[in-house]
Amino acid sequence: MGSFSNWYLSIRQTRFLGHAIRWALPGVMIGLMAGCQTADDCGGGSCGGVCSEPEVLTLAPDRHRIGIFFRDCDECPQMVVVPAGSFQMGDLLEPQMGGDDERPAHAVTLTQAFAIGRYEVTFEEWNSCVADGGCRGYRPDENGWGPRRRPVIEMSWDDAQAYVAWLTCKTGRQYRLPSETEWEYAARAGTMMPFSFEGELSSEKANYDARIVWNGSKPGTYLAQTMPVDRYDTHANAFGLSAVHGNVAEWTQDCYTKDYRGHLGDGAAREDAECEYRTLRGGSWDDGPWSLRSAWRHPVAPWERHNFVGFRVARRLDR
């Protein structure tokens, strides 16, 4: 735990190094508290309850351009620190482009920094959970595309819960799926346009069905499969997240709601007593451009598994 080799400072990349150093000294110290889990929390895993040592990291005030990458264990997903802040959530453009479920657009404030996966969870990472006795022993079909750095697919929302339970147990940190709000905030990374990279969507920037053209996107290649999670690193967003647009659509924690009326404007996931559907975000290799937008939402039953669905994880920084 906490070895220097597990920490990475990304400045997207060295371009903003000078900027980072300038702000590093008055940085905000955030203490990462140790935590212990019991075997009952392991989601069927056998990690036995690991108590982690406290760690400290420094966040610079101008964090919009600075992502701090870290791992909590050698087999754990690489995480990036996302700052607290406010943003506009939903279909922001005039005329409106999104579905009814993206309205009304509204202001949201996240009062605490948090960590979210730099990448979609990979087969390699999922298999570490299975090898450790977790994740219910489920080995999803690779579809002939190869495992390793490809995103794990055929993932239900319930499968994702088993993985974050194992990660929580293994690391002593409170891993979970991101809420929809956290996902969109992290995906937008300060942008208000449909996509978080500069310029128009193209198959050089994301993995999707580029035979379909929308809103100025360029016609391109339909790869018809997932790609390694780091393939589009050069088009990562300003927070350092890769492939929020396309590759695999990603589970969020929230119960799906048909619109944002009554939304509280905080970062919490919505949990209803009767939760028929959970919400997917980001679109996939098999979707057209419209579904790749930061604001796109899609309901899927939590038990369903598809070859275009995976997830990335999140956790608080203070537990």
The CA distance from 131 to 269, in Å, is 30
Confirm or reject binding of residue 179 to Ca ion (CB under 5 A). Answer: no
Confirm or reject binding of residue 207 to Ca ion (CB under 5 A). Answer: no
Q: Least distance from C-beta 245 to Ca ion, angstroms?
A: 7
> Residues in contact with Ca ion, total (CB under 5 A)?
3
Q: Least distance from C-beta 249 to Ca ion, angstroms?
A: 6
Q: Is 18 exposed, middle or buried (0-12, 13-18, 19+ CB in 10 A)?
A: exposed
Residue from 113, 130, 133 nearest 122 by CA: 130
Q: Least distance from C-beta 271 to Ca ion, angstroms?
A: 23
Our CB check for Ca ion shows the closer of 172 and 282 to be 282
- Rama region for 89: left / alpha / beta (φ>0; ψ in -120 to 50; rest): beta
Residues 27-46 contacting Ca ion, CB under 5 A: none
The only residue of 207, 247, 252, 291 in contact with Ca ion, by rule CB under 5 A = 247
Our CB check for Ca ion shows the closer of 152 and 243 to be 243
Q: Least distance from C-beta 211 to Ca ion, angstroms?
A: 19
Confirm or reject binding of residue 90 to Ca ion (CB under 5 A). Answer: no
292 token code pair: 């790749």
Stretch that binds Ca ion, among 51-59, 213-221, 252-260, 276-284 (CB under 5 A): 276-284
Confirm or reject binding of residue 309 to Ca ion (CB under 5 A). Answer: no
Our CB check for Ca ion shows the closer of 170 and 235 to be 235
Our CB check for Ca ion shows the closer of 108 and 243 to be 243
Length of the chain: 319
The CA distance from 113 to 30, in Å, is 9
The only residue of 243, 269, 280, 317 in contact with Ca ion, by rule CB under 5 A = 243
Cβ–Cβ under 8 Å, residues 229 and 149: yes
Quote the strand ranges of the chain, DSSP E.
7-10, 28-32, 55-59, 67-70, 79-82, 85-89, 106-110, 114-117, 175-176, 249-255, 278-281, 298-300, 309-310, 314-316
Q: Least distance from C-beta 95 to Ca ion, angstroms?
A: 27
Cβ–Cβ under 8 Å, residues 299 and 279: yes
The only residue of 67, 267, 282, 289 in contact with Ca ion, by rule CB under 5 A = 282
Residues that bind Ca ion (CB under 5 A): 243, 247, 282
